[in-house]
Structure 1
Amino acid sequence: MDANRPRRFTFLLLNRFTMMPFAAAIEPLRLANRASGRRLYDWRLVGEGGDHATCSNGARIALDTDLSVEPARDETVIVCGGLDVSQAANKPTLAFLRRMARGGAQIGAVCTGAWLLARAGLLDGRRATIHWENHDGFAEAFPKVDLYRSVFVHDGNRVTAAGGTSSIDLMLHLIAEDHGDPLAADVADQLLHTGIRTGQDRQRLSIPTRIGVRHPRLAAVIARMEENLEEPISPADLAADAGMSTRQLERLFRRYLNRSPKRYYMETRLGRARNLLMQTDLTIIEVALACGFSSPSHFSKCYRAQYGSTPYRERGMGGD
C-alpha cells in the first residue's frame, strides 16, 4: 500500500442491512482521519442498482455507485449484512465479490455479511465469525469454514466481525495495524469505547451475566448443556460432572432459574432448533437430530408446547 495514498474501503450495503455494524465500521475511519489530521482513509458505498440501500430500520442510504466498480489491491471490501441475508446471494452480488477477491482486494464482512462471503466460496478453509444468533445455521450450511464465536476474526486477507459494536473493535484493529496503537486509542477515546476487544474476546455475555446469577457450579452445568445440544447429557451425568447429586442439581435450578434442569435443557435445545429452522434449509428431521430429538413427532410436540406452532408452520409449509 502506498503510504502517501489513503487506504480505500468499499462498503457493500445489502438490502435490509443492519445500521449499527455499518455505522460502527465507517465512523472509526472518519475519526482516524480527524485525529491524525490527514486523509488516511477514504470510502465508497456500493450496492445493486447504485441508487440507494434500505437498512432494517427503514432508513435509506444513498450509494455512490453500483456493482460495476473495478477492484484494487490496496482496498478492503466490507459486506454489510442484516436480515434475510440469504436472499442477497444473487449472481451479480456473488460475481462482484469473487471479482474483487481475484483482483487482490481484502475481503470482509460485518454482521451476517459473512454468509454471503461463504456462499461465494471466499471463506472455505478460512477462520471467520458471524453474529451468535446465526452461528448454528452458518455452521450447518458451510462446514468448510472454520467458524469462531469471537468478536472478530482476521485471517490473512479475510476479516469478519460479528455485528453490533464489534465493527468498532475490528476497525480499531486495522487502524492499529496501519498506523499504530496510539492512533487506534485516540479513535476509541473519541467513540467513548473504553474496552477495546481483541480477536480472542467472545461475543456473548458470560453465562452468569446472561442468567443474572453468579454461581460457579450452575454456570458450569449450563455451559455443558450448551456444548452438548446434539447429544444431550442426562441430569445424573451433569450432576456427577459438577460434583453433586441429582437432587442437589434439581434444587439448584429450581432456586435460581425456577425450572428443572431438564426443562432448561429442553428450552435451550428448542431455541437452537428455531434458529436452524429460520436460517437454514435443513429438513425438519435434520433440525430435530441436530438438537437432540430422536423423532420428528417428538420434536414437533415439544416445539408446539414451547412456541405455540409446529416446526412445519414456522417454515410456512402448512400442516402438522
Structure 2
Amino acid sequence: MQNQTHKSQPYHTQKIGFILLHGFTMITFASAVDVLRMANYLSQKELYSWYIYQEENGTPASNGLGLQDSVDAEALFDCDMVFVCGGVEVQKATTPTIKTLLKQLDHQGMVLGSLCNGSVALASAKLMDGYKASLHWEALSAAKEAFYKVEFSEQLYTIDRNRYTCAGGTASMDMMLHLIRLKHGKTLATAVAQQFVMDRIRDASTTQYMTHTEIIGPGYEYVQTAIELMQANLDEVLSMQEIAELIPLSLRQMERLFKRYCHVSPAQYYLRLRLQRAKELLAQTSMSVMQVTVACGFSTSSHFSKAYRNYYGYSPRDQRKPIDPEYTYRISGSGGVINSDLCG
C-alpha cells in the first residue's frame, strides 16, 4: 500500500515499512500511517512513503479486518525503517518466516521498530536483548517474564539507538510525530497534531496507564500506594494487614477507601491483579499452569484454578484451548465478579 500525495517539488522521501502480524492492532497501525500521510499533505511534499508486508494478503487485524495491498519481503530491504505491528497472541503470530525476515533486516543494518506488542516479535527474534522497549501495558508483565534481557517499560514509546518501539492505541501517533519533529521540525509536527485534534504531543516519558483524575478525592493517595504495593508483590502476596501498615492506615480505613474508589475490597482488588497477570502469562508465554500458579502467588494449583474459573468463567487450561470463534472472543474479553471466599 503506497500513499498518494500532493507532491509539488522533489524531496528525499523516507521509506517506512510495516510488517503486519496476524491479529495486529488496526488503530495503532492506522494512526501511524495517517500521521505520515498528513505530513505529506501539509508539506505538499512526499516526505514519506509506506509499504506493508504480510505473510498472506488480507492478514486479519484484531478487529477481523484485513488489507489486501502488500509488497514482497524484498521491498522492505529498500526501506529506511521497518516496524512490526503486533497485537493479540503476538508470540504465536511471530512465525519462523517472520523471525528470519527480521534477522535478515537487522543484519543489513535496518532501523527496526514496533507498534503495540510488536516488540515481543523483535524480542522473540533475539533482536531486543540489551535494549529498552515499550509495548501495551496489558502485555507488560508477561513480556518481562519471557524476555529478561529486554528492559520493558510503561513509557508511551521508547527510542533506544536503532530501535523505535511504542505501546498500543494511539501511542504510535506520538512516536511518529516525534520522528517528524526530529527530521522536519516542530512546526510541521504541531500542524499534523492539530489536524487530528490532539491537544498536545505526548512525550516519550509519558506513562501509558494514568489514573483517571475524576475519581481522585480525599485519601485516594493511600489507595494508589496500596495498589502499587500489590503490583510489586504479585508473586509473594502481602497480607491486608501488612499493606495497611505500610501505607500507613488502619485496616478498616483502607477497606473503606477501596470500597469508595474501587468498589471492591482490597483483597478482591489484589486477587483481580493476580488473576489478570495469570491470564497474560497463560496467553503470551509458554509457562506451565503450575509455573503461573507460583508466579501469581497462589499456594496450590487447585486454589488458582478455582479462583481463575470463578473470575473468567473457564479454567486456566481452557485459556490455551479456544474451540470456536465465540469461545475465543469470550476468552479475549475481561473477567467478571470475584467472590470474597476466594480472596487471599
- In 1, the alpha carbon distance for the partners of 2:261 and 2:180 equals 44
Residue 61 (structure 2) pairs with residue 55 (structure 1): yes
Letter of the 1:294 counterpart: S
The count of residues paired between Structure 1 and Structure 2 equals: 312
> Which residue of the partner structure matches residue 26 of structure 1?
33
Q: Give 3-state SS (helix, strand or coil) of 1:99's partner.
A: helix
Letter of the 1:67 counterpart: A
Residue 148 (structure 2) pairs with residue 115 (structure 1): no
How big is the shift at 1:70?
5.4
> Which residue of the partner structure matches residue 124 of structure 1?
129
> Which residue of the partner structure matches residue 24 of structure 2?
17
Does 288-297 or 172-181 show the bigger shift? 288-297
Where in structure 1 do 4 or more consecutive aligned residues deviate above 6 Å? none
Does 249-258 or 119-128 show the bigger shift? 249-258
Q: What's the CA shift string for 1:233-265, capped at 9, x where partnerless?
A: 221221122221122222322344343222221
| TM-score of the two chains, using structure 2 as the length reference | 0.85
Letter of the 2:160 counterpart: D
| TM-score of the two chains, using structure 1 as the length reference | 0.91
> Which residue of the partner structure matches residue 167 of structure 1?
172
Find the partner of 1:64 among 63, 66, 70: 70
How big is the shift at 1:316?
3.0
Cα 1:232/1:207, change in 2 over 3 Å: farther
Find the partner of 2:12 among 5, 23, 29: 5
Q: What's the CA shift string for 1:62-83, capped at 9, x where partnerless?
A: 23312233524x6010111122
Percent of matched pairs sharing the same residue: 38
How big is the shift at 1:59?
2.3
The answer to whether the Cα contact below 8 Å between 2:21 and 2:94 also exists between their aligned partners in 1 is no
Letter of the 1:193 counterpart: M
Letter of the 1:24 counterpart: S
How big is the shift at 1:232?
1.8
Residue 241 (structure 2) pairs with residue 236 (structure 1): yes
Residue 48 (structure 2) pairs with residue 41 (structure 1): yes
Find the partner of 2:204 among 196, 199, 203: 199
> Which residue of the partner structure matches residue 262 of structure 1?
267
- In 2, the alpha carbon distance for the partners of 1:69 and 1:317 equals 36
Cα 1:231/1:283, change in 2 over 3 Å: same
> Which residue of the partner structure matches residue 275 of structure 1?
280
Cα 1:247/1:48, change in 2 over 3 Å: same
Letter of the 1:237 counterpart: E
> Which residue of the partner structure matches residue 79 of structure 1?
84
Residue 156 (structure 2) pairs with residue 151 (structure 1): yes
Letter of the 1:68 counterpart: E
CA RMSD of aligned residues (A): 2.1
The answer to whether the Cα contact below 8 Å between 2:11 and 2:46 also exists between their aligned partners in 1 is no
Cα 1:258/1:53, change in 2 over 3 Å: closer
How big is the shift at 1:4?
4.3
Q: Give 3-state SS (helix, strand or coil) of 1:153's partner.
A: strand
The answer to whether the Cα contact below 8 Å between 2:90 and 2:284 also exists between their aligned partners in 1 is no
Q: What's the CA shift string for 1:135-181, capped at 9, x where partnerless?
A: 12111111111100111111111011111100000001111111111
Gaps in structure 1 of 5+ consecutive residues: none
- In 2, the alpha carbon distance for the partners of 1:39 and 1:185 equals 18
